[in-house]
Structure 1
Amino acid sequence: MSVTAAQGFTAAGVVAGLKSTGRRDVALVVNTGRSKAAAAVFTSNRAKAHPVLWSQQVLGDGIAEAVVLNSGGANCFTGPFGFQTTHATAEAVAESLGVSAGDVVVCSTGLIGVGDQVFRDKVLAGAREAAAGLGVDGGADAAEAIMTTDSVPKQAVVAGDGWVVGGMAKGAGMLAPGLATMLVVLTTDADLPADVLDAALRGATRVTFDRLDSDGCMSTNDTVVLLSSAESGVTPAADDFAAAVTELCADLARQLQADAEGASHDIRIEVVGAVDEDDAVEVGRSIARNALFKAAVFGNDPNWGRVLAAIGTTGAAFDPYDVDVSMNGVRVCHAGAPDVPSESVDLTPRAVHVLVDLRAGGAEATILTNDLTHDYVHENSAYSS
């Protein structure tokens, strides 16, 4: 179980006909517990989908009773009709559950510009069907229903001392930082108020989902929501809860990285020796977004010159001629000059570790990314066809 691992949660995933594949495409997660505390983070893209605009309002008071999600259509740039669709979806769930529509978070994922009457009818019917089929064993179906180009569902659970945090996520492309980088629903039965949930969630996303930069493309629909039922009756220390949420988010982020569209390498870029964390992140992200570097990794080519060229475009404080670069445990560059021959590096395994030592300070950060492959280009060239 994932989102239903914590006490006080039910879920469902149904086939509403939004996908031509006939797979599940509408999910619902409901908090049946004594607390309805909630927190969320959303994309920082200025082009926000209607469900994001709606859900930002819902979470304004730190309360949410349910999260309804659909795949097969982003409902973004669909005009006033699209926002009305989002509102109608929340109302359909609210009516089915006997709650307020203003406490229903709505999430959508799929092709931008999809949101006509046919789409609306299918989403509303799916939401009602999901509400009728809720169960504590519905977490797996819900995780499947939010998939788009994902090849597998993503679920994880972390157990605390008498309490649990569970979650599900989707995302295989358009993974770039913006407070959140995909659709994620997290649940807990720990008894904590909304402000503690919010602090834990923001702290976790900052060092997990925000550090996943698969293709440098930020979505319009990104949402990560955390719900608390308080059904365990246990109030953990804020630090312990935050650590569990971070562990859970890190697990889901790694699953997202491993399922990135068409990728053949999972690349972990570790930057050490930075003046501060911001510099380390900037340097790591510059490498992660460098198309030439990503193409080299795809070809199993340890071209460390592309790493140095990428970090030289940043504003971080370091001397380019005092930098060390290692790939899969082999230091190929020392003090800005060749070290061990590049032929000593084996990049054939799927896991690739790039270590960059800026030799300028004591801060560090890690960015997760993938290589740039023929399959990635093909899949995204045909995404809307």
Structure 2
Amino acid sequence: MSVTAAQGFVAAGVTAGLKTSGRPDVALVVNRGRRKSAAAVFTSNRAKAHPVLWSQQVVGDGIAEAVVLNSGGANCFTGPFGFQTTHATAETVAEALGVSAGDVVVCSTGLIGVGDQVFRDKVLSGSIAAASALTVDGGLDAATAIMTTDTKPKQAVVAGDGWVVGGMAKGAGMLAPGLATMLVVLTTDADVDHGGLDDALHSATRVTFDRLDSDGCMSTNDTVLLLASGESGVVPDAEEFRAAVTELCADLAEQLQADAEGASHDIRIEIVGAASDDDAVEVGRSIARNNLFKAAVFGNDPNWGRVLAAIGTTSAEFDPYDVDVSMNGVRVCHAGAPDRPSDAVDLTARAVHVLVDLRSGGHEATILTNDLTHDYVHENSAYSS
């Protein structure tokens, strides 16, 4: 039940004809609870899609009553018509629900540059249909409707003491910091105000979605939204709530990683012994974005030299000749020199763990990525055809 696991929420997912596949493509999640608190994190890309620009204004006062999402078109770089389409979508949903358009978040995902009258008409008709189909059992339908190249819907729920947080996500490519090419809607029936939501969400995304770096490409439409209905009547401990939201985001981030376009390996890059958190993240991200390393993993080749070459491009504090590297539990490099033989490493399983000890401090970070495959190249070479 993902986004409808929390009391006070209903959802729907319908087919509006935006996708040539005929699959559901418009989703709606509505907060019918006593509280309408909201917080959001958006892409850090300077090229922001019209729905992002609109939604930033909506959540500016910490209140939102609904979020409407479409797949099949990003509504980005579509000119004034595109922003008018976003505004019209919010107004259409608002009229159907009897709320203010200024309290309706709008999210879109799909091909950039799609935004003609046909697109607008389908989004608006789909929004009306979704408003008529709302139900407490509509979470799966909503999670399915926001999929693009995803192969499966992504949902998760974490239970607190008398309250829950639930969520849905989409994303299978362009997974890079500044979130990913993803839309995420999180809901809770805990009684939390905007400040509490904002603190928990930013804390959670910093160590989950922002550390998912599948292909180093940043989207224009990333949105992570957290809504609170207050229907449980429970005011949770701030730390417990923050931990639950982080657990939920970590679960969804790992689902996104596991469904990355064309991937055959899920790679967890763990950096320890860093002089600072920022150093640990920078080093992990450098490895995650190194195509030579990613291609080696695709070929089941434990080429640890590519790991050292990647971290040598960073500004992190460490001595390259005092670094240890382990792959799937085998230390293949010690103090910048060969250790165990590479043929002792088995990379045939989908899960790959790379451990790098910088031996420069007590900080650490983990970055999630995938290998670089023929299927990834093929899928993205034909994405708009």
1:299-354 Cα deviation digits (max 9, x unpaired): 00000000000000000000000000000000000000000000000000000000
Residue in structure 1 matched with residue 343 of structure 2 by the alignment: 343
Task: Give the 3-state SS of the residue equivalent to 1:366 in structure 2.
Answer: strand
Aligned twin of 1:232: 232
Aligned ranges 1:1-385 → 2 under 5 Å: 1-179=1-179, 182-385=182-385
Shift, 1:182, TM fit: 1.4
Answer whether contact 2:171 2:180 (CA < 8 A) is retained: no
| Alpha-carbon distance in 2 for matches of 1:227, 1:167 | 10
Question: Helix, strand or coil for the counterpart of 2:3?
Answer: coil
CA contact (8 A) 1:180 1:224 kept: no
Conserved 8 A contact 1:167-1:185: yes
Counterparts of 1:12 and 1:288, CA distance in 2:
36
**Match for 1:120: what amino acid?**
R
Quick one: percent identity of the two aligned structures? 86
What letter corresponds to residue 116 of structure 1 in structure 2? D
User: CA offsets per residue over residues 103-162 of structure 1, 9 Å max, x none?
Assistant: 000000000000100000000000000000100000000000000000000000000000
The answer to whether the 8 A contact 1:179-1:206 is kept is: no
| 2:177 counterpart letter in structure 1 | P
Counterpart CA distance in 2 for 1:150 and 1:85 is 25
Q: Equivalent residue of 1:125, what SS? A: helix
SS of structure 1 residue aligned to 2:372: coil
Question: Is the CA contact (8 Å cut-off) linking 1:303 and 1:342 kept in structure 2?
Answer: yes
- The one-letter amino acid of 1:36's match is K
The alignment yields a C-alpha RMSD, in angstroms, of 0.5
Instruction: Figure out how many residues of one structure are paired with residues of the other and give that number.
Output: 385
Structure 1 SS opposite 2:184: strand
Q: Is residue 92–residue 128 contact of structure 1 (8 Å, CA) maintained in 2?
A: yes
Alpha carbons 1:261, 1:376 under 8 Å: kept: yes
Deviation at 1:358, TM superposition (A): 0.3
Whether the 8 Å contact between 1:41 and 1:224 is mirrored in structure 2 is yes
Q: Matched residues in 2 for 1:164 and 1:355: separation?
A: 34
- Cα distance in 2 for partners of 1:161, 1:181 equals 33
Instruction: Quote the offset at 1:179 in angstroms.
Output: 4.7
Cα deviation, residue 286, structure 1: 0.0
Structure 1, unmatched stretches of 5+, are none
Q: CA contact under 8 A between 1:204 and 1:246: conserved in structure 2?
A: yes
How far apart, in 1, do the equivalents of 2:320 and 2:105 lie? 47
Q: TM-score, normalised by structure 2?
A: 1.00
Q: Give the distance between the partners of 1:266 and 1:356, measured in 2 at CA.
A: 17
